[in-house]
Amino acid sequence: MIKETFDFKRILLGKNYDELNPIKNILMAKKDEYYMDQKSDYPKDKWLCRGHIENYLEVKKIFEVVFKDRPKGYTEFDIMNSFWITYKQLLQLSYPMYFCPEGSLSNDLPLALPKPPQKSTKTLKSDFLSYPPFVSGKYEIIHEKYIKYYKENFSDLKVYPGMTWVQFLIDNFDKFSKVHELSELNRYAVLTHTIGNIALVGKGHNPERAEYLYDYWDLYLKKYVKDTLSFNEWKNFVDQQLLNEYVNKDYEILPFWENRKISDFKDESEILPKEEADIIQFLNKVNSYIEKRSERVMNQFNDSKEVI
């Protein structure tokens, strides 16, 4: 029986699910061998693939019962608050020597150790997306310049040609303990794939949301929902989709961290957190939101007497 705290990665990873390392489970779930793994004990018709845990039949069953009155055009499922962007930010802030070296992949010059920061406050680089780790696309496999950089400066790191960044993080997991031991990040690693962090979205919204809004759910609600509806329609949407934690009593969207602009965002500098403190605020809020929504979703489902 599915509970509100059930991590759907348990289905994907099976016996390889690590009870003590939730972040490692996130990384393992991104590995290719868990893509339609022929050795999985889980029936093949019950799940789709590594990147679409939100499409598991258990999720659809719950949503068909709880969200019968879905908005017109809301036919797709999506993870509301994505783990990867936040994780990448924290790795770069805590370990700039590993993930933010001086140099570029677009020239023949070697990468070099980063210069000491000008300020004591941990501040996120404005172009952090240009730095590793990468989980997809042309930089998913570690570039040879990074391999050379690591071998010359950090001989204790495990790295080899053809290695993916995900595998690099798994094989060197203990090297990044400042990030991997953060309690709220570990909590988030579990909650990312619980029922309270899955939502119905409009058809075709997923790719644009990820590319333009970096999977921040408060911005998605503003751009794709609130700004397109009358107040009563917006209020009904929030109530029907059990998204009440994301708004105040006047149904205004609550920003994920202090001084965050969601009323008129125009560029990345207004979308992304600027400091580690912003990320910690985000984690505290979003974890609470997911837990409360999970409880309400499963309470409604259990009241229906349906069985999974």
Torsion 148-149-155-156 (CA) sign: negative
Task: Label residue 48 by pLDDT band (50, 70, 90).
Answer: very low
pLDDT computed for residue 257 by the predictor: 93
Percent of the chain with pLDDT over 90: 60
How far apart (Å, rounded) are the C-alpha atoms in residues 27 and 30?
5
How far apart (Å, rounded) are the C-alpha atoms in residues 170 and 168?
5
pLDDT computed for residue 46 by the predictor: 44
Evaluate the omega torsion of the peptide bond into residue 133 and state whether it is cis, within 30 degrees of 0.
Answer: yes
pLDDT computed for residue 151 by the predictor: 97
3-state helix vs strand vs coil in the chain, percent to 5: 50, 5, 45
Task: Label residue 198 by pLDDT band (50, 70, 90).
Answer: very high
Q: What are the structure tokens assigned to 157, written together?
A: 């790191």
pLDDT tens digits, 218-232 = 988 998 899 999 999
Q: Is there a contact between 61 and 297 (Cβ–Cβ < 8 Å)? A: no
pLDDT computed for residue 33 by the predictor: 58
Task: Label residue 267 by pLDDT band (50, 70, 90).
Answer: low
Q: What are phi and psi of 261, to 5 degrees?
A: -95, 115
Angle at the Cα of 11 from the Cα atoms of 7 and 13, rounded to 5 degrees: 95
Q: Is there a contact between 248 and 218 (Cβ–Cβ < 8 Å)? A: no
What is the pLDDT averaged over residues 135-159?
Answer: 95
Given the DSSP bridges, would you call strands 76-79 and 198-201 parallel, antiparallel or unpaired? antiparallel
pLDDT computed for residue 296 by the predictor: 95
What is the pLDDT averaged over residues 2-28?
Answer: 92
pLDDT tens digits, 55-95 = 888 898 999 999 988 777 888 888 999 999 999 999 999 99
Asked if pLDDT for residue 42 goes beyond 80, the answer is no
How far apart (Å, rounded) are the C-alpha atoms in residues 275 and 270?
13
How far apart (Å, rounded) are the C-alpha atoms in residues 40 and 202?
32
pLDDT computed for residue 34 by the predictor: 53
pLDDT tens digits, 251-266 = 999 999 988 877 766 6
Q: Is there a contact between 123 and 271 (Cβ–Cβ < 8 Å)? A: no
How far apart (Å, rounded) are the C-alpha atoms in residues 59 and 261?
32
pLDDT computed for residue 277 by the predictor: 93
Asked if pLDDT for residue 44 goes beyond 70, the answer is no
Task: Label residue 45 by pLDDT band (50, 70, 90).
Answer: very low
How far apart (Å, rounded) are the C-alpha atoms in residues 146 and 102?
11
